[in-house]
Structure 1
Amino acid sequence: MEDDVRLIPISALQHLLFCPRQCALIHLEQQWAENRYTAEGRILHERADHLGHERRRGIHTAMALPLVSEALGLTGVADVVEFDESQQTAVIRPIEYKRGRPKTHRADEVQLCAQALCLEEMLNVGIEQGALYYGKTRRRKVVVFDDELRELTQGVIADTRDLFDVNCTPPATYEPKRCDRCSLIDICQPQVMGKQRSASRWLANQLQSLDE
């Protein structure tokens, strides 16, 4: 990787899939605000976010493990990485902690797969699967890093890189189910900004019709 290429935070991949504008506000404009959902997520992460190690029943657990991929231009921190040494060949599993429940989209899976790609490069190993731990269910969801998920993750990395290179925040589009849960809604103002964009488009269309 060239020295002038900016490393992309792995968390930006999840933010991009949730909302490209949110991703840009957080990572390009350095905007942040907390609501109940982000506070619950922060509390859930508190145990895993302290750098440390544990060893129980043949499983070596590393917490808050720094990650980097020079090839992909990624950086981040894994909540938990398990090194299962109980088998003949050690099995490595990244574990990501999330509040709430498993989602219908694959944003969390992409974030976890990106962690696995970093670990594969750092440790020169292959990683077949990891897990997402959800606070509401208090259960792990196994995630298999198959070709489909790896290709999706590579595509999201490329899209996020494009957003960073353009360095421009996308316009707002109000979607109640998504926007009303976002901690940045007061900063983003999707209802107001969306109306302004619609008015600007209407005016541009009117001026174009006069020229025709």
Structure 2
Amino acid sequence: MKKLLLLVGGSAGLGEALYSHYKNLDYDIVEFSRSGQQPEHVFLDMSRKETAIDTIDLQFAQLAKQPWQEIVLIINAAQIGPIGELAMSEPKQWWQNIEVNLTLPISIMGRFQTHFQAVEAPKNIAFVSSGAATSVIEGWSLYSATKAGVEHFIRVVAQEQSSKSNPITPVILNPGIMDTQMQATIRSSSEAQFSNVDWFKQAHETGQLASPATVAGNIAAVLSGKLEAGQVYDVSG
């Protein structure tokens, strides 16, 4: 039997590195994003929750009918903006951030439970979070709140799964700071939006950003070991 990776947000950066790493490990992969180019790509716009969850529902239902040795769901998609105090942006921007970072990750994990709960193979859910979930960072209120919300959701799910006969193991990943497009977006912020922007610029200039490939390898190593449900794992480079 084959191993299955369900990768949400695998078109660039860490997601693209995860795709390459797991492909080399001979996993069957289904990659969900707006702009993925891989043969296994499925279009998914997480800012449109109704159509997005319909797509997830259909794909998960079909895949759950097949025999698998192992199933891994990695939720990597995220949106940093709008950066700055909420008065500097508009409600429609806030709602999109919340849908991409909170509503859809929770919904995807819920549908994963619906379709894969009874499958007897080992099943892991890994949510790529951020240190912002537990740190107070001016200008990142929405990003921080949504990451923290999903983390606590995972802790509750972990407790719920402890009594299941075929449990799912959900965990949280902290990837640290990486050289990705999100970091470029952060560095393009003004000091009015983000008072700590100079630190991120210096980190980039001095080579302190980890490569996505390094973090992807760390993630794969962690997920291949014994996991404790609901825990945070440091996978930084």
> Which of the five TM-score ranges fits, normalised by the shorter chain?
under 0.3
- Greater CA radius of gyration, 1 or 2? 1
Greater fraction of residues in strand: 1
TM-score, structure 1 as length reference: 0.26
